[in-house]
Amino acid sequence: MRPGFILKSKFMGLAREQALTLGGYANRIARVDLTTEQVSYEVPNEADLRKYIGGRGLGVKYVFDNGPKVEPLSEENILCFMVGPIVGSDFEMSGRMAVVTKSPLTGTVTDSHQGGWSGARLRWAGFDGVIFKGKASKPTYAYIENGRVTLRDASEIWGKNVHGTVKLMLAKNGKDNTSVVTIGRAGEKLVRFAAIINENDRASGRGGTGAVMGSKNLKCLVIKGEISSRPKHASSDEDFRKAVTQVSKAIITAPVTAPRKGGLSVYGTDVLMNLVNEIGGLPTLNGRTTQYEHADDLSGETIKETILVHDPTCHACPVACKKEVEVKEGPYKVRMESTEYEAMWSLGANCGCSNHDAVAKMIDIANDYGFDAIEVGHALSLAMEASERGLIKERINWGDADAQINLLNKIGEREGLGDVLAEGPWRAAKAFGDEGMANVVKGQGIAAYDPRGLQGMGLGYATSNRGACHLRGYTPAAEVLGVPGKVDPQAWEGKGKLLKAFQDLHAVSDSFDICKFSAFAENADDYLVEYKAMTGVDIDVNGLLKIGERVYNLERYYNNLCGFTGKDDTLPEKFLKNPGTGPAAGRVCELDKMKTEYYEARGWVDGVVPKQKLLELEIIQ
């Protein structure tokens, strides 16, 4: 549907007419009631598009409108698969999809993004989003093509893990122009940190989105979309090509993203392993230390020298940060798409395992079950510490890869100790008698950056709206990589303002929805060029960043209505009282000092968005 098309639709029970004036959108949202098996279609509200863009922002608005009091695993919770106006276009790094819902792991609003081709194909299939509510009476999958969503019987794939589901669905529906977005047995069994996986290895990992999908008896989405259906831009063809060229030049010349030259392109995300370890910022042995003596064995450099076989990529991306590996023989024989930094850390250094072959095998198992690879690594390291301290009867030694693999399977099947760990590390630690063992914020595990070695990241974990997260505001860009400028990772001054800037900028890119790594090459001016070329919205950089601020505050307001306040913006005690090691020796995270600066920059009162800020950002009238 082109700009100017008028469509009668139903929204919140009220009929209306809308004149659509923006480029870049499919102008179509599907609402799927799994309980009644009814599918309806609507035009997104243009005012909402202008205020929240799409992707993460618009998805959060739908979750907010659905109400904060719903139980995450109930029929009333909604599960939104969303794309933004840049997705599926000629702009590079424009292939992501946001999954937005209320998290069963944290109780907060959560959004989790996946790369690959599924986001672009959802847009090419004619949608800005597909929203599921209710619960199917039997296993069901959604077939999406040509602006229609059809519900089909999934009985033959229920009980299968991710790889088996993808293989069967591609055989059944054809491989051409097809993405399969699915849960594994972890999602079916409501593991609280279950992920949604597409194309075997691309995950919407955080927040337990896969458990929400499983609670609805929704096994997978099969999406068919051809590139010939790419979104229509609002600018002239000449101006659009100029915009695409400008953004492309930024990406292919930046030191971090330059194809076949930059660190991401050559070594993948695992280029960070040695860099973070060298500054004393790598959480090791469940956060006991901040350096790992065998980090290099898990690094991108070592992977490239030993088991790297291919560099696959996502839609419209020249960087190719995914590093496909193959272990050709031995007990850990495997071929899998990508050894990401976070997964190599969580299942490797975090657990004291330096065998990169074994860790690659574990990542493949995690992807097949459909786990959040970060969270499941926390579950394993928690079990190791509990075992060492005699809090559980099982013996699970640090670095025992075979024991880790055995426990991964038990978590996926919810057997014995695995059933306890499947509730998430925070709940498991409480069951073991010491919740301080769990390295979590708001119930979600931290990523591969220790708050004692990277102060800004500590503040980022504490104030993230979806629980501990490195991607809400990626301060390591400045603290480790020097983008847009180098800052001292162990200094706390200025980190509140720095984090706010990153959080607002990332809320914009997540709403576009483009790759987070674009921020290593692009700045807000480049983002504005993309946005204006696609949509035709005439705003300046400040206006664009205000949208990001609005999205972040809407999320915080939702969490406030769920009962979260400043007391929840904290870190595990070990990061506040137990000094780090190596270059971070003697250092703890100066969280309270940074929070004071951060709240002042945000205009919040003890972690709560005041009415004046809500009015200023037009979240309420």
- Spatial distance between the Cα atoms of 114 and 558, rounded to a whole number of angstroms: 23
Cβ burial of 19 (10 Å; 0-12, 13-18, 19+) is exposed
Q: What is the pLDDT of residue 545?
A: 98
Q: What is the pLDDT of residue 338?
A: 86
The ranges assigned to domains in the chain are 6-229, 255-445, 455-520+539-616
Q: What is the pLDDT of residue 417?
A: 98
Q: What is the pLDDT of residue 28?
A: 97
Q: What is the pLDDT of residue 20?
A: 64
The full length of the chain comes to: 621
- Spatial distance between the Cα atoms of 6 and 613, rounded to a whole number of angstroms: 34
Residues near 329 by beta carbon (within 8 Å), at least 6 away in sequence: none
Domain 6-229 has CATH 3.40.50.300: no
Domain 255-445 has CATH 1.10.569.10: yes
Q: What is the pLDDT of residue 337?
A: 87
Per DSSP, what are the bridge partners of residue 28?
Answer: none
Cis peptide before 583 (omega within 30 of 0): no
By C-alpha distance, which of 36, 29, 28 is closest to 140? 36
Q: Are 450 and 580 in contact (CB under 8 A)?
A: yes
**CATH dotted code for 455-520+539-616:** 1.10.599.10
Per-residue burial over 576-592, b if 16 or more Cβ lie within 10 Å, else e, is beeebbbbbeebbbbbe
Where are the alpha helices (H) located in 524-577, listed in sequence order? 524-535, 541-561, 573-577
Q: What is the mean pLDDT of each run of 10 residues along the chain (621 residues)?
A: 31 41 95 98 97 98 98 98 98 97 98 97 98 98 98 98 98 96 98 96 96 98 94 96 97 96 96 98 98 98 98 95 96 94 98 98 98 98 98 97 98 98 98 97 98 98 98 97 96 98 98 97 97 97 98 98 98 97 97 98 98 98 92
Cis peptide before 419 (omega within 30 of 0): no
DSSP 174-201: -STTEEEEE--HHHHTT-TTB-EEETTT
SS (H, E, C) 72-107: CCCCCCCEEEECCCCCCCCCCCCCCEEEEEECCCCC
Specify the pTM: 0.96
C-alpha pair distances (Å), 417 with each of 367, 551, 557 = 20, 39, 37
Residues near 573 by beta carbon (within 8 Å), at least 6 away in sequence: 436
What's phi and psi for 12, nearest 5 deg? 55, 30
Q: Do domains 255-445 and 455-520+539-616 have the same CATH topology?
A: no
- Spatial distance between the Cα atoms of 517 and 201, rounded to a whole number of angstroms: 18
